[in-house]
Structures are given as structure tokens and as C-alpha cells.
């Protein structure tokens, strides 16, 4: 019986520790803003992570805001884009509609969010100077 109690307590401690680690990892993005400055202070595209699953992306080039959900796995953010706020203004088959799609981005250097294809694992640097910085 003592062995059973020891194992139960050990298992409980392990589960509590694992849950707290993964929760803090998830909360890394909660209530944060990541922006890309086009060289003018007033022209920025940015991601806002509202909570542990919802985000908004403002595209400075088009003026559209995209709404979706996300989840974080290690250094990779998995996006599930739902729609653009202007989608309803265009016909169903219009190429101007943002619509839904899935894509991934990675976090590097603790404060840089960029497209996976732009990261060079060999040099540990971005191939292009196009990534979003945590504000």
C-alpha cells in the first residue's frame, strides 16, 4: 500500500509540473503584439494575440484585419486563419477575400516571429529582413 501511495504522489507531482510548464509555454504569446515596420512609424503590419487561442492580424498594405485561432508548439505558431473583416464586401469567389487557410510561423531569438521558409538553420539567421518583432 505504501508503494502505491508513493507512486500516486509521484505521478500527481509529475502531472502538475508538466501542466504548469506547458501552460507557461502557451502563455508566451497571450496579450502580446508583434509588428513589422515598413520603414515609416505609421505603417506597421502586426499580430495581436488576444488570449490562448485567438489572434488578429492587421495588414498595413491592404488595410484588412484577419481573424483566426492559433496554437503554439515549441517555437512554431500554427495559425488557422478564419476570415478577413472585409470578406463580406466581396463576392464568394473573389480573389480579394482572405477566407480560411492554415499556415505556420516560427519564433526565433525570443522576440522575432517569421515565416519558416525565411529562417536559415545553418547560419541561425533570417534569410531576409522580414520578421515581426515583439513589442
**Bigger pLDDT: 24 or 114?**
114
The predicted structure's pLDDT at residue 21:
37
- Beta carbons within 8 Å of 125's beta carbon, 6+ residues apart: none
Per-residue pLDDT, averaged over 19-28, amounts to 52
Q: How many CB atoms lie within 10 A of CB 29?
A: 23
Residue 42 pLDDT class (50, 70, 90 cuts)? confident
Tens of pLDDT, residues 77-109: 999 999 989 888 888 888 888 889 999 999 999
The predicted structure's pLDDT at residue 43:
83
Q: Is the pLDDT of residue 4 over 90?
A: no
Predicted structure pTM score: 0.76
Kindly state the cell numbers that stand for 46.
502586426
The predicted structure's pLDDT at residue 18:
41
| C-alpha distances out from residue 71 to 33, 37, 85, 108, 133, Å | 16, 25, 21, 16, 18
Tens of pLDDT, residues 46-57: 999 999 999 999
The predicted structure's pLDDT at residue 123:
96
Amino acid at each position: 500500500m505504501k508503494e502505491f501511495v508513493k507512486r500516486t504522489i509521484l505521478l500527481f507531482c509529475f502531472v502538475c509540473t508538466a501542466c504548469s510548464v506547458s501552460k507557461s509555454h502557451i502563455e508566451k504569446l497571450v496579450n502580446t503584439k508583434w509588428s513589422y515596420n515598413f520603414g515609416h512609424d505609421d505603417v506597421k503590419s502586426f499580430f495581436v494575440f488576444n488570449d490562448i487561442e485567438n489572434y488578429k492580424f492587421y495588414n498595413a498594405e491592404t488595410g484588412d484585419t484577419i481573424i483566426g485561432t492559433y496554437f503554439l508548439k515549441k517555437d512554431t505558431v500554427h495559425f488557422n486563419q478564419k476570415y478577413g473583416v472585409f470578406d463580406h464586401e466581396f463576392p464568394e469567389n473573389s480573389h480579394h477575400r482572405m477566407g480560411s487557410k492554415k499556415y505556420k510561423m516560427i519564433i526565433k531569438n525570443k522576440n522575432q516571429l517569421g515565416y519558416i521558409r525565411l529562417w536559415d538553420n545553418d547560419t541561425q539567421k533570417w534569410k531576409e529582413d522580414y520578421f515581426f518583432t515583439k513589442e
